[in-house]
Structure 1
Amino acid sequence: MRLRRPVGLTSRPRVSVVVPCYNYGRFLPEAVASALDQDHVDVDVLIVDDASTDDSLAVAHRIAAADARVDVLAHETNQGHIQTYNEGLGKVGGDYLVLLSADDLLAPNALTRATALMEAHPEVGLVYGHAPSFADVPPDVDHRPRSWSVWGPGEWLAPRARRSRNPIYTPTAVMRAAAWSEIGAYDARLPLGADMLLWYQAGASWGVGRVNNGAQAFYRVHGANMHLTRFAGMHRDLVEQREVLRILFDDPPRGVDLDSALRDRAHRSLARRARRLALASRRDLAAPDQVDAFVRFAQETEATATAAVPHRAARLADGLLEHRAAAFPRRVEEHLRWRVWRRYGL
């Protein structure tokens, strides 16, 4: 990874923003307005209404009638989020592509900053940034970029896969259309992990960049968030992340040779996280079947990797961190990880 000094745009790229919407009509005008509030880029917006039962479609048509840059695609029956994403992204024609949920917001000139990075670095196929959460009003942050983090093709993937983490919030992600065309679609087998797989696939064959600033987007937190309702649960997250790794390594992007040792390290990382969650569940007096589920997951995942038994010192450290008396060092560890992620996206 190299830190670069940001430079401005010298061209005027076209960016297509797809806004999938299901029963988020109350948020839709603000989301679309945030996508259009971008300097030095030509933006078009496609709202894809997935057979909403509220007034979302009527709201979408009112927005489109007021601005020629906005189009609407309406489903007669509910297709689900993955099909909605793929259909919308398959119909737009920008140089760069963005998927913006109808309840999230882009930061002012986020697309200007992201495309400036990709225009300056043609090897970069994916750019992301920080996305503070909000409930009603987005926080007031400094949008000016401090720096760019730039990884060459394949460089970003290995550290992320070794820890089996997804550091990217979808509303901040801007993809080069050529990178999207190579991958072709969100994978319908992964209702929760399709975005993580997409980033990993892009990072396997393209460079990745990050705009380091206060916010590239804003992630709305409310009771109807998909991941807080249908897809809740840390165990489910682990299962999906393991499936991401299976698909990635069994069927890597064309022309990419992924190291089997990287797959083993990724599996060991997942197994270690599951063991820590088992310890944490036991510490917090969770139901025994929850503890057992994490333990089984760790055992199954370790069995897929060679030399998979964790080092004794690592197990001892995990046990100490998850002990009831270790609340302070546990918070310190979590805070340090958050600070590194917040500043550099790692």
Structure 2
Amino acid sequence: MFVRITAALAAVLLPAAARADWRHELSGVTVPDVVGDMCRGAERRVEQDGSDIFVQYGTDAEPATLYVYRSSHPNPALWFERTRIAMLGNVGAFDGSAAPRPFTLGLAGAPNGLRGAFALPGRPWKSTAVAIAQHGEWLVKARVTSQTLDPAGAAKRMDALLAAIRFADAPKSASLPLTAPAACADAATFAGKPTTDDKLRGTGAAVGVVALAEAHGAVSGLAGKPDEWCREEVGELAKAVTYYRKRDGSAWTALLGDAGVTASAYAFPEGVGAKGAAVYLNRTGPALLVETYDAMPDLRTGAGAALAVMAGQRKPLASIGTKPKS
């Protein structure tokens, strides 16, 4: 508490030029150390290279958290609902029926984010607000939770935090459409089995170039053309996974958790000389070829193999592409 009071006094007594800023070098995101009555606390790195990082503002009773991470399929519309469901597990059920509102963050030329504020059901939390915006391959996500404020108050606190965020430059590409696929009209059945065929593995590595491009936000994929995809219900898996299937059955992508990690399956296109499919794990850098199959695998089979690679329980077959750290 003493540290936070001292920081607040310093914000009042020191001239503006003397106040420090928190800067994330890889993305160019910069935020003052003091935003209104919120003082910056600890910075934590999920990935040591700085590609997934968050910083805490406020107090334990009135926390505000800012996350900056390089995301697979970096469309806020895909990740807002995934984050809302994750929050449900962390802070309890709440009414999330209201549609999120678009907003513009940083130097984007059009709305590049979605936000919402919600009432929480009981003690100790009274309300929470969340905002997610795209900056190229980066997502900037903010969470404000309060024990005293109603949703309107949490939204106002979020206003201050978002207004304080600055970017070093404009995004290099246009923002993706702030829409997510609609629900599938029916379910699809996939039954592909793993294969050790070297030809299929070689084809899987080649098709991985497409997986890499689409995971990093190419307009040809899920994030850029959501109307070509649909969302399929997955029962109890919905607490941790959101599952999107291409309407023609040639691909699917599963959002794993709420931190930008996905597993994707692609059927090999005609003309490549092999019939089959492959699953990839998409994180902050290369696309990892997880496994090849004689046909499209189902969600449990493919995502389960990707999670095993993510957990270090098995090694990927190949790493496709490299990404610079900036």
TM-score by length of 1: 0.25
Normalized per residue, the structure richer in strand is 2
